[in-house]
Amino acid sequence: MKKFNPLEWLNNTEPTETTETTETNIKKENTNSHKQTNTNNYEIKNTNQEIEEIVKRIELQTIDITSTYNNWRDIGFALVSELGEAGRSYFHRISRFHSDYNVESCDKQYNNCLNSKGSGIAIKTFFHLAKEHNINISIPKNRPNRESTTTTSIVSKYPNFPKSIYTQLPEFLNNICSLADSQHDKDILLLGSIATLSGTLPKIYGIYDRKVVFPNLFLFLTAKASAGKGMLNHCRHLAKPIHDDLRKDNKSLQQQYQRDLNVYNAEKRKNPDAKKPTPPPVKLLFIPANSSATGVFQLLSDNNGKGIMFETEGDTLSNTFKSDYGNYSDGFRKAFHHESISYYRRTDREHAEIDLPRLSAILTGTPNQITNLIPDAENGLFSRFMFYYVDIKNTWKNVFDKKAENGLDEVFENLGREFLNFYKVLKTNLKIKFSLTKEQETEFNVIFAALQDKYFKLLGDEYIATVRRLGLITYRIAMILTTLRIMETGEISSPLLCNDADFNTAIQVTQTLVLHAQQIFTDLPGKAELPKQFNKKQKFYNNLPATFNRPSYIAIAEKLSIPTKTAEGYITSFIKDRLLHREKNSEYIKLLSQENKE
């Protein structure tokens, strides 16, 4: 997929110079969109209210409907045809979910649309494009006017991943995500698969911040009971065939060791020089969290520093960390950065080291289990995890769904066997060095410099570690996605250059994860140590809707017991820090996804 660049439109011929053929095509497309909406008995009665409603649905689902050059252009024309200058704020709200969005280029494009002498595109084109991206455009007739609640609406704390990323995944991941029957389940399967597979890719590495890094990731999926986090358990089957192969090897080695030991025991009296056989290493891919510190490190060492912790209850790990025998929290944190782990083996009475540990972790649990594992906001574990919160939905799912006739476990077992073949190919191959392209490196640095600046101003230096490690996590996700494409092409090369679609997917996943982590971070113990006013300022910003005016932000301030003058000061500082953009007539746009790329 060709990456969309908003500046491409700005540098093209002005709309007033469009050829007759192109105008005819646009009108035909517009006519078709009319037919599409008419078949759904969709009527536009109060256009302003309906545009607002559809834009709110786009924001709630964090969907980018401007993914192609033509879509972005036509949405601008559609808003201009209906609203003129008043459509500018809607254009920003719709455009901001694209990874290349910035205020200046978006304004410039809307100016071009305003200055055109007519495009033949009407507002129904916008509704048609929204519908094509699975946005529900049905508006109940005679619905009450809800403008009073619109101005104080709260942006979703825990958004889903943009739906657009699911059209550009590697085929293996796409097959997995297609088994989901809801957006949340898709997100869970995508994150769970990526995290699980991060512990199964041999000989893949990259250079990040001048250090060798591997694909390994830590994931904590959190939700209240019965919210649907159990979907994650299926992802374990993706790596189980590798684990089972290692256990078969262990059994064979153990049997040989027992035979050698029997021979030794029979001969040692007759032959004092007889050598006692050495017990074979215990190779396991899945390492139980409920183990002693020495036991975990020994298993890691026996498997050349590699392993996966997959626990369905976060308390299993947190309770182990709290015990005298199982406090390997320090080694767990070191493993994220592949730092050497030292430990003492009592059996052999010797000091041992694990060089370049490569541990992946997948945990699920309730929000309370997070605080049990991570005692305060300063704990280094927090910034090492990807967090995803699953909201419980008041809907009954079809428990007799026929997508998997014999159950999802069997489907995932088959996918695991398919992946095992790929694993064996990688294992017998030479090392593969993953790299971003020069253009991707530049964009990566711009994006994370802006994220770091934004969250430093909102949450202070305690959150900087999270943003910085999310940079490494993004790099690792891109590495995993591009490596999985080898399953489709069969082409193995080093260096392995990052696919543009995979780079965009990794960035968009991270832009969602940072919002989940932000909300969980603010609930951790230890945040009470932050200045009270700073904490209120951050809450005030979180509660601001995507677009708002002065009366609406004053109403939000009142709900948070913030004086009007203080709220006005906050707004001024947000504008100065480029967290808000002020439109004419005291209208404001919240730059939730703005990366300030100049």
CATH code at 538? 1.10.10.10
- pLDDT higher than threshold 80 for residue 216: yes
CA separation for the pair 312, 225 (Å, rounded): 12
Q: Which two tokens stand for residue 585?
A: 């007539």
CA separation for the pair 486, 426 (Å, rounded): 10
Give domain status of residue 256, yes or no: no
Give domain status of residue 474, yes or no: no
Contact 192, 232 (CB under 8 A): yes
Residue 432: its pLDDT value, please? 95
Q: Which of 37-41, 185-189, 449-453 has the least mean pLDDT?
A: 37-41
Residue 140: its pLDDT value, please? 54
Q: Which two tokens stand for residue 384?
A: 């090492």
In the chain, pLDDT over 90 holds for what percent of residues? 30
Q: What's the whole-number mean pLDDT along residues 227-239? A: 85
- Greatest Cα pair distance in the chain: 104
Show the DSSP H helices in 377-407 as ranges. Answer: 380-384
Residue 477: its pLDDT value, please? 98
Mean pLDDT of the chain: 80
Contact 594, 102 (CB under 8 A): yes
- pLDDT higher than threshold 50 for residue 19: no
Contact 24, 84 (CB under 8 A): no
Higher pLDDT, 34 or 123: 123
- Of 143, 178, 199, which residue constitutes the final position of a domain? 143
CA separation for the pair 166, 231 (Å, rounded): 18
Give domain status of residue 273, yes or no: no
Model pTM?
A: 0.66
Per the listing, tokens 């059209």 go with 167
Instruction: State how beta strands 218-223 and 385-390 pair.
Output: parallel
Q: Is residue 189 helix, strand or coil?
A: helix
Residue 572: its pLDDT value, please? 85
Instruction: State how beta strands 587-590 and 580-582 pair.
Output: antiparallel
Give domain status of residue 254, yes or no: no
Highest mean pLDDT among 123-132, 251-260, 413-422: 413-422
CA separation for the pair 508, 97 (Å, rounded): 9
Q: Is residue 524 helix, strand or coil?
A: coil
Residue 148: its pLDDT value, please? 32
- pLDDT higher than threshold 80 for residue 523: no
- Which has the closest alpha carbon to 166: 134, 126, 127? 134
Q: Is residue 334 helix, strand or coil?
A: helix
Q: What is the pLDDT of residues 328-386, one digit of tens each?
A: 888 889 999 999 988 776 666 677 889 999 999 999 988 888 888 887 767 788 899 99
CA separation for the pair 89, 71 (Å, rounded): 17
Give domain status of residue 41, yes or no: yes
Residue 400: its pLDDT value, please? 67
Cα angle at 306 between 254 and 362, to 5 degrees? Answer: 115
Given pLDDT bands bounded at 50, 70 and 90, which one contains residue 530?
very low
Contact 221, 228 (CB under 8 A): no
CA separation for the pair 393, 155 (Å, rounded): 17
Q: Which of 161-165, 397-401, 561-565 has the least mean pLDDT?
A: 397-401
Indicate the number of domains in the chain.
2
Q: Which two tokens stand for residue 354?
A: 């694990």
- pLDDT higher than threshold 60 for residue 42: no
- Of 122, 143, 164, which residue constitutes the final position of a domain? 143
- pLDDT higher than threshold 60 for residue 412: yes
Give domain status of residue 231, yes or no: no
Give domain status of residue 536, yes or no: yes
CA separation for the pair 556, 582 (Å, rounded): 18
Residue 5: its pLDDT value, please? 40
Q: What's the whole-number mean pLDDT along residues 40-60? A: 68
Q: Which domain holds residue 135?
A: 6-143
Per the listing, tokens 């007033």 go with 16
* CA distance readout (Å), 464 to 158, 451, 548: 20, 9, 28
Given pLDDT bands bounded at 50, 70 and 90, which one contains residue 150?
very low
Q: Which of 23-32, 118-127, 482-491 has the least mean pLDDT?
A: 23-32
Q: Which two tokens stand for residue 173?
A: 């991941």
In the chain, pLDDT over 70 holds for what percent of residues? 80
Task: Report the run of H or E that residue 229 belongs to, with start and end.
Answer: none
- Which has the closest alpha carbon to 590: 492, 454, 416? 454
